[in-house]
């Protein structure tokens, strides 16, 4: 591990009172690593506090965690990347375990899953995390327990080949879904999750950000599993068409007349849209497979981390 170039990435927005503890914690565990704090338009003393603790401070003016992570991944070159939040909630003492798990098992990402203690983790966040984890696990046939954890160790070939499009707290979802969809080797390691330091507060809003994350998950499913998405849509539409159309057909059989013409037209139109939806999914599925092959080629241009 000592021969590897390790970068600790800390995206920050108004983390005065917490960022100093976070930098000190990772410096103690990884004395040879470079610690980068990317400030996202903080209005408090986050920047000064990070500099005083010896971190390399840079700025990203476009607001949003996803914007910051995209910039960090583009700017920084290293063999291994440790990403965490700057709020002193993640357990820095287990970072060596996360790194060793990645190296010893030749993985590309290790997620530090959080202990969901009520005093450190709001009830709404716990329920939302579980619900979204179940959704992602069902769609991608996985068994992850904490898809939203921001505590991750990643290889260079993962960081340099993941296309980031999210701009906010959807970033963890995007990293997880990308790895699952492309069958990139990942693992989870349980970690403690601490309460935020007194005087600081979370930037994550349970309901508004939860809706954004849900809409982004649906977008990702449509984008990378179009056949699945449009098949579900097609089934829904054909069901609606049959519910509307079967009574019209029964009336025609009984009377020889189409008595509900508007309903018949509506049912037929929905049926046509259902067929179009299915064929749209088939065509986009071929496009997605071609794009996936290009991603694999780019991914394979990078060698795995050399631990010898």
Q: State the average pLDDT for the chain.
A: 90
Q: With 90 as the cut, is the pLDDT of residue 176 above it?
A: yes
Confidence of residue 302 (pLDDT cuts 50, 70, 90): confident
**DSSP code, position 144:** -
Q: With 90 as the cut, is the pLDDT of residue 214 above it?
A: no
Is beta strand 56-59 parallel, antiparallel or unpaired with respect to 34-39?
A: parallel
Listed by start position, the domains of the chain span: 6-223, 226-299
Superfamily per CATH, domain 6-223: Spore Coat Polysaccharide Biosynthesis Protein SpsA; Chain A (3.90.550.10)
**DSSP code, position 303:** P
For residue 193, the cross-strand partners are 90
Cα pseudo-dihedral 290, 296, 299, 305, rounded to 10: 170
Which one is predicted more confidently, 138 or 123?
Answer: 138
pTM score, whole prediction: 0.83
Whose CA is closest to 93, among 146, 21, 26? 26
């Amino acid at each position: 591990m000592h021969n590897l170039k390790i970068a600790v990435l800390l995206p920050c927005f108004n983390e005065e009172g917490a960022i100093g503890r976070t930098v000190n914690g990772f410096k103690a565990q990884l004395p040879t690593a470079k610690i980068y704090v990317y400030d996202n338009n903080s209005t408090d003393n986050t920047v000064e506090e990070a500099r005083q603790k010896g971190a390399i401070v840079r700025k990203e003016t476009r607001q949003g965690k996803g914007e910051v992570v995209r910039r960090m991944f583009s700017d920084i070159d290293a063999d291994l990347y440790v990403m965490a939040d700057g709020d002193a909630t993640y357990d820095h003492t287990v970072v060596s375990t996360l790194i060793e798990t990645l190296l010893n098992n030749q993985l590309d990402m290790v997620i530090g899953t959080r202990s969901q203690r009520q005093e450190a983790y709001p009830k709404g966040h716990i329920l939302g995390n579980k619900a979204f984890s179940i959704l992602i696990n069902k769609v991608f046939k996985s068994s992850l327990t904490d898809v939203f954890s921001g505590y991750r160790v990643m290889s260079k070939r993962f960081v340099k080949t993941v296309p980031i499009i999210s701009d906010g707290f959807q970033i963890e979802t995007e990293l997880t879904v990308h790895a699952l969809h492309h069958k990139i080797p990942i693992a989870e390691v349980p970690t403690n999750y601490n309460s935020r330091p007194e005087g600081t507060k979370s930037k994550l809003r349970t309901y508004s950000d939860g809706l954004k994350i849900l809409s982004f998950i649906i977008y990702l499913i449509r984008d990378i599993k179009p056949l699945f998405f449009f098949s579900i849509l097609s089934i829904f539409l054909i069901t609606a068409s049959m519910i509307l159309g079967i009574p019209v057909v029964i009336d025609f059989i009984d009377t020889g007349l189409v008595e509900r013409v508007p309903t018949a037209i509506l049912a037929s139109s929905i049926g046509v849209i259902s067929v179009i939806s299915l064929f749209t999914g088939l065509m986009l599925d071929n496009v997605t497979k071609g794009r996936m092959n290009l991603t694999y080629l780019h991914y394979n241009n990078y060698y795995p981390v050399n631990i010898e």
